[in-house]
Structure 1
């Protein structure tokens, strides 16, 4: 049987993201090699997640809390990658999603540093996030982490780590159309609204220095983060990882799975309606309002968001801009994380006066 082209594309292009965000390479190879049809994708990744979940629960029962947290985090990532683009079967997608959240929540208190599941009021409902604070730092500065179209807070362990290791707290949260919030809210082009609610919530915490706050966004979050920074000047520094400058301009050329996920999570109901929403995700006439320092990452081999979008953002922002154009990087340059992940974290630490 010939492999489904969607599975072939996943195998060819997603290894960097999966492995750099916590999936063991052998697991990526085993699972993708075992799948011929996209329809079995979620089931296969959920089965692999269950293996790590069992190891985590065994460690927890034995009192090995750190090991439990690590196993359960990997389980959560595997379940997450089962559901992340599996929008054609919402019921199966939601079952895998619940397992991802359950495993990460169970992991949080057993990690080093530990994490806290938090609930943030937003438009009469709730946005959920994971707050983690560096060990040995009172009232640390904080980096708010904006997810993308198909990422969620359960995928953020390795991305959180580079900030935590440098003395910054992290708050990874699911905003409208993302993770746990995708059921209550559609994608929100005006992302300064949920970010404003998050900052207001943080300002009430006595254990976080919310007056020294940065924002980080990945993929579509690479649009959300600078969009928020343009309107909310409480944000002291911004990192944008291969986000679109104008999503409507590249919608037609995005991979079919990405388009389907946008249609689903925007609650558009059709391709034409989704394109109208995508056209609202634009920084034209907005990027000029970004006055805080901005760190922009682009992969020149990006097949999802052309790297020219990052160049346009870098050219348009008013404040100080650092552009990291990675010649051999794909989308989010996940295949070359060593060329930007630690560098951008060091940059953020400098901007927030950690160093």
Structure 2
């Protein structure tokens, strides 16, 4: 039995989508009352992803409109609050819509509102573009209020997150501890996937290394104290990067992912049985990987394994995982922890009593954010 509040008891995927939005309230990027208004219109229509998009984007447009009214009156802090909430509602709305121009347009609306929102509410966040192969990777740089070169975290997303969420729920607490944050959409993530068409790759030390090269050119960054971190699927990416690139001074897996291929073998069984205990619809994995179908995905995922790789890691390593995580089961984190070659390594398992016992603390982001931020402050 799940200990998680499920807004739609018969649809775990939709419930998780609601929590994506609800848990942003702590950072001023959602209002529970507004999200409940959306949810009330969706009750009884579970699984209708068109209606999901309609109701979330309708609320986003309404809130963005309120922001425009306040902006015209010179109330920039108030308008910024509206814009941040609208941005997250747009992003939640496009979550279950298959790749299409409508999906890209909805995400562009998210970016438009988020850019205006952070300019007014989080002016310490700036847009950066990280040189990567023959293009760039989009990112937000959250500058901590410190003097002189300081530690920095390169933060990657997962299968269905984006830097617009993670720079707030992951980055703000870290920055409060004097650590800069580069929240970046890597290959197969966020803006890099949606607007640039860059699919995922197994050797994530390449984009991670590009991020390291970029930020260490900044005078406020101490190149000897740069960590790499990832959420969910990023719990594979970050350990891979840290194991293969010794320049990283620490590594955090916010959700441990030892074998992403095996994880999707399990998820495929759920999909084929009609279950909803998944994080995203069936189109998500082929889209992220740039593959035509699930069979091709499974072939590509044969390289997304950390057996024989995690053993190479030498930097301090921290993995935080929820005991009740049914998206990435606890045994993946336990196996990752056992395999990591670092002498300084920690596996933190959160139970229902602790709060944050579900996938990547989507039931209580504040708990996870503070634990991760404290570990980084202690190790960088």
Compute the TM-score of the two structures, normalised by the length of structure 2: 0.85
Structure 2 residue matching 1:73: 3-state secondary structure:
helix
Contact 1:113 1:135 survives alignment (8 Å): no
Higher mean Cα deviation, 38-47 or 25-34?
Answer: 25-34
The CA deviation at 1:9 is: 2.5
Structure 2 residue matching 1:340: 3-state secondary structure:
helix
Distance, in Å, in 2 between the alignment partners of 1:20 and 1:54 is 23
**Structure 1: unaligned runs, 5 residues or longer:** none
Q: Show the counterpart of 1:240.
A: 253
Q: Show the counterpart of 2:183.
A: 172
The CA deviation at 1:247 is: 1.1
Q: Show the counterpart of 1:321.
A: 345
Higher mean Cα deviation, 295-304 or 60-69?
Answer: 60-69
Tell me the number of residue pairs that the alignment of Structure 1 and Structure 2 aligns: 347
The CA deviation at 1:7 is: 8.2
Matches within 5 A, 1:42-61: 42-61=53-72
Structure 2 residue matching 1:204: 3-state secondary structure:
coil
Match of 1:290 among 285, 308, 313: 313
Matches within 5 A, 1:119-158: 119-156=129-166, 157-158=168-169
1:239 and 1:6, CA in 2 relative to 1: closer, same or farther beyond 3 A?
Answer: same
Contact 1:11 1:32 survives alignment (8 Å): no
State the Cα deviation string for residues 49-106 of structure 1 (Å, max 9, x = none).
Answer: 122222333333333333333322221111111123422x522211111111111122
Distance, in Å, in 2 between the alignment partners of 1:136 and 1:56 is 32
1:32 aligns with 2:43: no
Matches within 5 A, 1:151-300: 151-156=161-166, 157-182=168-193, 183-254=196-267, 255=278, 257-300=280-323
1:209 and 1:56, CA in 2 relative to 1: closer, same or farther beyond 3 A?
Answer: farther
1:256 and 1:310, CA in 2 relative to 1: closer, same or farther beyond 3 A?
Answer: closer
State the Cα deviation string for residues 237-269 of structure 1 (Å, max 9, x = none).
Answer: 111111321111121332283542011121111
Distance, in Å, in 1 between the alignment partners of 2:257 and 2:279 is 17
Contact 1:21 1:159 survives alignment (8 Å): no
State the Cα deviation string for residues 7-30 of structure 1 (Å, max 9, x = none).
Answer: 833443444432223432223322
**Structure 2: unaligned runs, 5 residues or longer:** 1-7, 268-277
Higher mean Cα deviation, 203-212 or 249-258?
Answer: 249-258
The alignment's C-alpha RMSD in Å is 2.1
Runs of 4+ aligned residues of structure 1 deviating over 6 Å after TM superposition are none
1:11 and 1:265, CA in 2 relative to 1: closer, same or farther beyond 3 A?
Answer: closer
Distance, in Å, in 2 between the alignment partners of 1:240 and 1:129 is 19
1:341 aligns with 2:364: no
Structure 1 residue matching 2:222: 3-state secondary structure:
coil
Contact 2:228 2:248 survives alignment (8 Å): yes
State the Cα deviation string for residues 169-197 of structure 1 (Å, max 9, x = none).
Answer: 11111111111111431111111110111
Compute the TM-score of the two structures, normalised by the length of structure 1: 0.91
Q: Show the counterpart of 1:66.
A: 77
